[in-house]
Homo-oligomer: A and B are copies of this chain.
Amino acid sequence: MDIEAFRKAGYQAIDRICDYYYLLQDRPVVPSVQPGYLLDALPDSPPEEGEDFAAIADDYQKYILPGLTHWQHPSFFAYFPTACTFEGILGDLYSTSTANPGFNWLASPACTELEMVVMDWSAKLLGLGDHFLHSSGKGGGVIQTTASELALVVVVAARERYMRMHSDTKAESLVIYTTTQTHSLGVKAGLVFGIECRALEVRAEDAYALRGATLKNALEEDQKRGKRPFILIATVGTTSSGAIDRLDEIGEVAKDHPSLWIHIDAAWAGVTLACPEYREVAQLDSINAYATSFGTNFHKWGLVNFDAALLWVKDRKDLTDALDVTPEFLRTKQGDAGTVVDFRNWHLGLGRRFRSLKVWFVLRSYGVEGFRNYIRQGIKLNEHFASLVRASPKFALVTPPSFALTVFRLTPSGPHTFTDSELNDLNRTFYARLSSRHDILLTQTVLNGVFCIRFAVGAARTQQEHVDRAWEILQREGAVAVQEFAQRKLVNVP
Contacts and interface: CB of A to CB of B under 8 A. Distances in A.
Interface of A: 1, 3-7, 9-11, 13-15, 17-18, 20-22, 30-31, 33, 35-39, 42, 44-51, 53, 56-57, 60, 63-72, 79, 82-90, 92-94, 96-101, 105-111, 113-114, 116-117, 120-122, 124-125, 135, 145-149, 152, 156, 159-160, 163, 170-172, 183-185, 187-188, 191-194, 239-240, 299, 305-307, 322-323, 325-331, 333-334, 339-340, 348-353, 357, 360-361, 363-370, 432, 435, 443-446, 454
Contacts of A108: 67-69, 71
Given A90-B10, A124-B45, A307 B96 contact: no
A42 B63 CA distance: 44
A31 B113 CA distance: 13
Given A6-B14, A46-B125, A329 B64 contact: no
A155 to B, nearest CB: 9
Given A14-B14, A101-B71, A135 B44 contact: yes
A195 to B, nearest CB: 9
A120 B322 CA distance: 37
B149 A348 contact: yes
23 contacts: A1-B87, A3-B18, A6-B18, A13-B94, A31-B109, A31-B110, A36-B113, A37-B113, A38-B114, A38-B117, A47-B363, A51-B365, A64-B110, A69-B107, A71-B100, A72-B99, A84-B97, A147-B350, A183-B327, A184-B325, A188-B348, A328-B444, A329-B445
B99 A305 contact: yes
A454 B147 CA distance: 37
A435 B104 CA distance: 15
A73 to B, nearest CB: 10
Contacts of A149: 149, 348-349
A17 B84 contact: no
Contacts of A325: 184, 187-188, 191
For A110, A159, A370, which residue has the most chain B Cβ atoms within 10 angstroms? A110
A365 B159 contact: no
Nearest to A73: B98
Given A93-B89, A113-B38, A370-B50, A11 B9 contact: no
B1 A367 contact: no
A443 B330 CA distance: 8
A69 B100 contact: yes
A470 B280 CA distance: 60
Contact of A100 (B63, B82, B327): B82
Contacts of A11: 11, 14
Given A6-B14, A6-B17, A7-B14, 5 more contacts: A67-B110, A68-B110, A146-B349, A170-B172, A331-B444
Which are the 5 A-B pairs with shortest beta-carbon distances?
A: A67-B110, A10-B14, A84-B99, A38-B113, A50-B367
Contact of A69 (B109, B163, B370): B109
Contacts of A117: 38-39, 42, 44
